[in-house]
Amino acid sequence: MPKLIIIGLDCAEPSLIFERWRDDLPHLSQLMTKGTYGKLESCIPAITVPAWNCMMSGRDPGELGIYGFRNRADRSYGKMAIANGSFVKVPRLWDILGDAGWKVAVLGVPGTYPPKLVNGVLISSFLTPDTQADFTHPLGLKSQISNLFDRYLFDVPNFRSLDKHRILKDIYTLSNQTFSLAAYLLAEYQPDLMTFVEMGVDRIHHALWKHMDPRHPLHEANSPLKDAIFDYYRHIDTCIGKLLSHCEEETAILVVSDHGGQPLMGGFCLNEWLYREGYLVFKQPPNSPTSLDECEVDWSKTKVWGAGGYYGRIFMNVLGREPEGTIPLAEYEQVRSQLAEKLEAICDPEGKSLEVKAFKPQQIYQRVRGIAPDLIVYLQNMAWRSVGTVGVNSLYTLENDTGPDDANHSPQGMFIFYDPQNPGEGKYWQDASIYDILPTLLARYQITAPPKLRGQLLAW
């Protein structure tokens, strides 16, 4: 029987689990009552791919060189690369425990495709291209999965669409497969560590948040889907209860999310703002909403461009660094600081501060690898998203430019930890960080941690 099970719930929102719906989530509530729980400060940026890798490695995005789903592949202007498992050059929890003799089972943790050798079994995550790819270790496990499921899902297909009922059906299919496969791995391989990530919570937030939350600017009152997220949280709680029934009383349980969720309050058109401020120059300005990738940018005159997403990324066109750089290296820091000040002064449509925070990677990371953004931009603590489209009539929008999206991430996820040998008796833990998970678990099992980790030990 496993010594430790880690149940990852991508985007699980602490306020819903700890407060609003706790009485309706009996299994999670019981773990809270017997164990320790609290909010978990995510990394910057609070994005799925870097966040899970930060949690499992104890390193920050700068050390990992992972700043989002897509990262600049080189210093050219358009080449972006998906951050897959090959980006991760440091050991993660299952590697360290495997080296210590633990048999491990890893399922669906972001950053595990293509699969690598582990002391046990590994099934890769939602960034796996399709079931034709080699997505398991050992390879023979792939055929076992095809025998278990007629249509195996790595993710919810096209979860940003208007077909909400189809999305909801796929979300349940995905979660049921994840928990069924976790139970199968426990029974067949008897690992010491089982760790997996369930992506449905994130997908249902993005697809259906406006149906439940009156705070949402596009809230649909009396929607037939108003209870869909609530019902899904209850479903996940039931799945957790069934899975834990397979475990012995000595098994330690960690339920954790990489970040939280919140209603999407609006979008700020970052590249449009850069254009109007004179930082971004076009050979022929677009006269209708257009992706920056489809525009003729005059790079010989452009100083700055950006990227949209849950957070904003600012890239500076530096002389001698980018192909047609315009900002002399000696002026780089001055221009960057001035730009950060301008961004942080941006207001919302009503003239109130948009509470922009522009982070310099060199100030928030222990080191900076790869090609980091020059500035990482949060808009109202991520309640607003960055929109990359240009050629729009306004700097503000209520719609996402990459497909319907009801929610954005929030910088705090959650954890619940129950160790039968050292029960927390319902203690609420303050000021925990995503970086604390790895060193705390290694200390719990008296395993030497790698040097220079970012986190601290939590007295769970």
Q: Over the stretch 297-352, which tens digit does the pLDDT of each residue have?
A: 999 999 999 999 999 999 999 999 999 999 999 999 999 999 999 999 999 999 99
Question: Over the stretch 156-212, which tens digit does the pLDDT of each residue have?
Answer: 999 999 999 999 999 999 999 999 999 999 999 999 999 999 999 999 999 999 999
User: How many angstroms separate the CA atoms of 114 and 84, rounded?
Assistant: 7
User: How many angstroms separate the CA atoms of 93 and 53, rounded?
Assistant: 10
Decide if pLDDT at 236 tops 90. yes
Say what the pLDDT of residue 73 is: 92
Domain borders along the chain are: 4-264+409-444, 266-404
Q: How many CA atoms lie within 13 A of 299 on its CB side?
A: 17
Mean of the pLDDT values across residues 9-33? Answer: 98
- Three-class SS of residue 236? helix
Strands (E), 57-103: 70-72, 80-82
Tokens of 364: 């928030």
Strands in 384-387's sheet, in edge-to-edge order, are 384-387, 266-269, 396-397
Decide if pLDDT at 460 tops 90. no
Cβ neighbours of residue 359 under 8 Å, at least 6 residues apart?
Answer: 44, 375, 376, 377, 378
**Contact of 271 with 390, CB cutoff 8 Å:** yes
Tell me the pTM: 0.97
Cβ neighbours of residue 61 under 8 Å, at least 6 residues apart?
Answer: 43, 44, 45, 50, 54, 67, 365
Question: What is the SS3 string spanning 27-40?
Answer: HHHHHHHHCEEEEE
Burial class (CB in 10 A: 0-12, 13-18, 19+), 292: buried
Helix (H) / strand (E) containing 44: none
Say what the pLDDT of residue 399 is: 87
Please, which pLDDT band fits residue 403 given cuts at 50, 70 and 90? confident
4-264+409-444 CATH choice from 3.40.50.2300, 3.30.200.20, 3.10.20.30, 3.40.720.10? 3.40.720.10
20 DSSP 8-state letter: I
